[in-house]
Structure 1
Amino acid sequence: MNPYELAELLRDELVVQLEQSRAGAVQLATVHPGDMVPAYSTCAMAAVRVAAITPQVPGAGCGTPTSWDVTLDLAVNRCYPENDPSRTPDMGVLADLANCGVSDAEAMMRALCVVPDDYTWTPGAWRPVGPQGGVYGGVMQVTVHDLDAPCCP
């Protein structure tokens, strides 16, 4: 399995698990390029991003590493309710959004169980994101160990 295929697998399972989240199903899901998943204005978006591919045993030449560790970010963005910035937000609404974020984090944790048994994995911390630009959510990293190294021709 290559890193992109692993990201697709996690994306698909994340979508399934988010259907059980307090915040509900997502409208859009993707494997995202780049070094971050921006706060798009699309409400209810999930993304998986390949954050790093690291040789397990670094070598000097092509093909020296026998396996790679792949770090992936699982991200969920939700729309923040409209709020007048000149007023204090309703505390009940804030508490509900915090609870929804934790429920999304739990969905991410469940999604990690889809990693094939051939691989070991190390989950990272879930971190809240936002609210920024009307979007809040969270990101969780997972490192999957011992993916096969591509061979040199």
Structure 2
Amino acid sequence: MTTPDVVVDSPIGTLLATVTACVCAKLRSIGRPACDCCLDFGADVMAMDGCDCTCDDDEATGRVTGRVLQIGPAPSNVIDTTSTCHTAAVQVTLQVGVFRCVELSDDGSAPTCAQATAEALGFLRDEQAMRAAVSCCPELRDIPGKWRLTPGLWQPHGPSGGCAGGVISVQATGLITFPKETT
């Protein structure tokens, strides 16, 4: 599995990177590792046509991608929403997706019932791993900001371009610290 080595200097970026890494680690722990684990940006669901069918890493397949869907003020009944010039309470909606290759025939016929069933059950295992990662990953407790995470809806996507999978939304409420001025 490859995870880019980047410096994350944003509280929400740290949250997104950690949630995504937790999903990748959980998938590996249940024997369904992904080839790549990365962050994405954009208004639409991540592109599915970039998932690798195989890679050089322990029979891994596919790609895990995390992105931010929206950022807004936190509801006042959830957390102290007193904003200052240094901090603010926010509610962030994240989305993490797992996309893998699906069986395609050379003649365009549908996969066999056994192939379709195996893929469907595999995608449901991915969903369970995603939900468990958001709910139980110990690294999420170490992120500054007193984040409360709640896994939301999981939605299947595809097939498209030989790939299919699903995305889960994650509601996160916490405190962010604004960047310090350099002047």
Task: Give the TM bin, normalised by the shorter chain.
Answer: 0.7 to 0.9
1:41–1:79 contact (8 Å) kept in structure 2? no
Query: Does residue 1:73 correspond to 2:95, yes or no?
Result: yes
Which residue of the partner structure matches residue 128 of structure 1? 156
Q: Under a length normalisation based on structure 2, what TM-score does the superposition of the two structures give?
A: 0.72
Letter in 2 for 1:76: V
Encode CA deviations 1:91-149: one digit per residue, 9 max, x unaligned: 01000000000010011012102332822222211111111111000000001012325
The alpha carbon displacement at 1:84 in A equals: 4.1
CA distance in 2, matches of 1:136, 1:18: 16
CA distance in 2, matches of 1:12, 1:39: 19
CA distance in 2, matches of 1:86, 1:152: 57
Which residue of the partner structure matches residue 116 of structure 1? 141
Letter in 1 for 2:33: A
2:104–2:110 contact (8 Å) kept in structure 1? no
Distance 1:57 1:127, change over 3 A: closer
CA distance in 2, matches of 1:129, 1:6: 24
Which residue of the partner structure matches residue 28 of structure 2? 19
| Paired residues, number | 151
CA distance in 1, matches of 2:151, 2:175: 16
Residue 34 of structure 1: which of 21, 39, 42 is its match?
A: 42
Instruction: Give secondary structure in 2 for the equivalent of 1:19.
Output: helix
Which residue of the partner structure matches residue 169 of structure 2? 141
The alpha carbon displacement at 1:67 in A equals: 0.5
CA distance in 2, matches of 1:40, 1:48: 16
Which residue of the partner structure matches residue 57 of structure 2? none
CA distance in 2, matches of 1:57, 1:122: 15
Identity of aligned residues (%): 24
The alpha carbon displacement at 1:21 in A equals: 4.0
The alpha carbon displacement at 1:81 in A equals: 1.6
Which has the larger displacement, 82-91 or 11-20?
82-91
Which has the larger displacement, 7-16 or 96-105?
7-16
Gaps of 5+ in 1: none
Which residue of the partner structure matches residue 92 of structure 1? 114
Q: Under a length normalisation based on structure 1, what TM-score does the superposition of the two structures give?
A: 0.85
Gaps of 5+ in 2: 1-9, 53-61, 77-83
With CA pairs under 8 Å and 6+ residues apart, which has the higher RCO, 1 or 2? 1
Aligned-residue CA RMSD (Å):
2.7
The alpha carbon displacement at 1:151 in A equals: 7.3
